[in-house]
């Protein structure tokens, strides 16, 4: 089970997260997380060029035993040569990450592939060079797959999936991706930590979805299950999902996850889902 966990790294470079009270993960804690991860069989890291100094913080710890997936940012509007842009970004990432090759390179903005006609070919060239094993996209909504998958072939897709946000399953895309032999990584299993907050800790912004949160709170109360375990169990219960990316703010949370994965079989998952984009997409959250 643990080998299907991937370490998310937005928190290694950014001071972010609705439930994050401690800021960016400290170097000393990162070292402990890496050591313990390898010891437990967790050997995948998800990062992105856009996560500020996440790549170099990972690279400082010589992550040679990890399979690393990173993401190319939005292509800048003044980009003159897309091939050079791809090569330069990949070579900079390899340098920062301190590794000879990457497991995967994803587009952080998938629609760039339609906008820049050479981008797909350049990604394939990078793959042929051996610098990257798999190419793919990181999506925000399954509709991006409707648009792109008939035309392009990808090896790896990253998508959000959690108790509330089941779009990748309900759209039929999870099954289709698996049938196509595409590797699937899911992120956001704690919905940025929102699913782990107690009722009194949730910002007022979420009051408009109180009917959904009431169901979630009641389930946790009645089942006496740990929300960390329930949130992990949901994506891990799909055999076709190759990696479930988890974000942590520190070593303590990482250990809490390891402990919960150990006990996952005893847990149940509720049938609650939310379709409102304003709730399930953290970039839509507005706090005054
Ligand atoms: N016991 C506990 O309390 C406990 C235990 C575990 C985790 N947690 C909390 O859960 C959080 C992780 O939640 P999660 O694993 O569900 O991951 P998540 O934060 O929902 O998803 C991670 C994704 O969020 C996106 N992101 C990065 N920077 C962002 C920003 N500035 N604003 C908005 N989104 C951004 C990134 O995706 P894109 O790159 O595609 O944008 C990243 O891959 C931790 O930070 C921690 O606070 C708490």
The model's pLDDT over 17-54, given as tens digits with 9 standing for 90+, comes to 777 777 899 999 999 999 999 999 999 999 999 999 99
The reply to whether 288 falls in a domain is no
Question: Would you say residue 225 has pLDDT above 80?
Answer: yes
**Residue 173 placed within a domain:** yes
The whole-number average pLDDT for the span 168-197 is 97
Question: Region 252-257: what's the mean pLDDT?
Answer: 96
pLDDT of residue 23: 81
Q: How many domains does the chain have?
A: 1
Q: What is the mean pLDDT of residues 132-151?
A: 97
User: Would the CB of 231 count as within 6 Å of ligand 1?
Assistant: no
Are the C-beta atoms of 231 and 260 separated by less than 8 Å? no
Give the pLDDT mean for 187-200: 97
Is 246 part of a structural domain of the chain? yes
Q: What is the pLDDT of residue 45?
A: 98
In a domain, 286, yes or no: no
Mean pLDDT value across the chain = 95
Higher pLDDT pick, 150 / 202? 202
Residue matched to tokens 């856009």: 50
253 lines ligand 1 (CB under 6 A): yes
- Please determine, for residue 80, whether its predicted confidence score (pLDDT) is greater than 90: yes
Q: Where does the pLDDT of residue 208 fall: very low under 50, low under 70, confident under 90, or very high at 90 and above?
A: very high
Q: What contacts 249, CB < 8 A, 6 or more positions away? A: 11, 17, 19, 20, 21, 22, 23, 25
Question: Mutate which of 7, 19, 162, 230 to test ligand 1's pocket (most atoms within 8 Å of Cβ)?
Answer: 19
**Res. 166: pLDDT tops 90:** yes
Does residue 287 fall inside a structural domain?
no
- Give the least confident one: 10-24, 157-171, 238-252: 10-24
In this prediction, what percent of the chain has a pLDDT beyond 70? 100
85 inside domain: yes
pLDDT band, very low/low/confident/very high, at 100 (cuts 50, 70, 90): very high
User: Rounded to whole angstroms, what are the CA distances from 100 to 63, 68, 139?
Assistant: 11, 11, 27
pLDDT at 288 over 70: no
Q: How far apart are CA 90 and CA 132, in angstroms?
A: 9
Residue-level pLDDT at 15: 83
Output the pLDDT for position 239.
97
Domain CATH number, residue 21 = 3.20.20.100
Q: How far is the CA of 121 from the centre of ligand 1 (A)?
A: 31
- Which atom of ligand 1 lies at the shortest distance from residue 11's CA? 45
Distances from the Cα of 70 to the Cαs of 89, 90, 105, 271, 284, in angstroms?
A: 10, 9, 5, 33, 24
Choice between 19 and 141, residue whose per-residue pLDDT is larger? 141
Query: Given pLDDT bands bounded at 50, 70 and 90, which one contains residue 263?
Result: confident
| Position in ligand 1 atom list of the atom nearest CA 228 | 5
Residue owning the nearest CA to atom 30 of ligand 1? 16
Q: Which of 202, 216, 162, 217 is nearest to 287 (CA)?
A: 202
User: How distant is the alpha carbon of residue 126 from its chain centre?
Assistant: 23
Residue numbers of the domain that contains 147: 2-279
**pLDDT of 117 strictly over 80:** yes
Stated as kind and residue range, the H or E segment containing 38 is helix 27-40
SS3 238: coil
Residues β-bridged to residue 214? none
């Amino acid at each position: 089970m643990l080998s299907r966990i991937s370490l998310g790294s937005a928190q290694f470079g950014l001071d972010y997260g609705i439930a994050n009270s401690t800021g960016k993960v400290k170097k000393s804690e990162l070292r402990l997380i890496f050591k313990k991860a390898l010891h437990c069989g967790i050997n995948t890291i998800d990062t992105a060029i856009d996560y500020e100094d996440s790549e170099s913080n990972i690279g400082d710890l010589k992550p040679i035993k990890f399979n690393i997936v990173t993401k190319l940012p939005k292509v800048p509007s003044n980009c003159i040569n897309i091939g050079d842009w791809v090569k330069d970004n990949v070579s900079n990432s390899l340098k920062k990450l301190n590794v000879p090759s990457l497991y995967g390179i994803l587009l952080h903005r998938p629609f760039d592939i339609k906008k820049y006609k050479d981008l797909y070919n350049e990604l394939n060239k990078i793959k042929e060079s051996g610098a990257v094993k798999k190419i793919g996209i990181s999506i925000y909504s399954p509709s991006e797959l409707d648009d792109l998958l008939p035309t392009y072939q990808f090896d790896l897709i990253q998508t959000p999936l959690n108790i509330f946000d089941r779009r990748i399953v309900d759209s039929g895309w999870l099954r289709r991706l698996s049938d196509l032999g595409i590797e699937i990584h899911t992120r956001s299993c704690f919905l940025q930590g929102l699913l782990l907050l107690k009722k009194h800790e949730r910002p007022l912004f979420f009051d408009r979805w109180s009917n959904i949160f009431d169901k979630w709170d009641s389930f946790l109360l009645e089942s006496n299950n740990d929300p960390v375990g329930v949130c992990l169990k949901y994506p891990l219960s799909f055999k076709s999902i190759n990696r479930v990316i988890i974000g942590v703010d520190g070593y303590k949370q990482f250990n809490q996850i390891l402990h919960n994965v150990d006990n996952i079989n005893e847990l149940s998952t509720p049938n609650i889902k939310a379709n409102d984009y304003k709730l399930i997409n953290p970039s839509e959250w507005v706090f005054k």
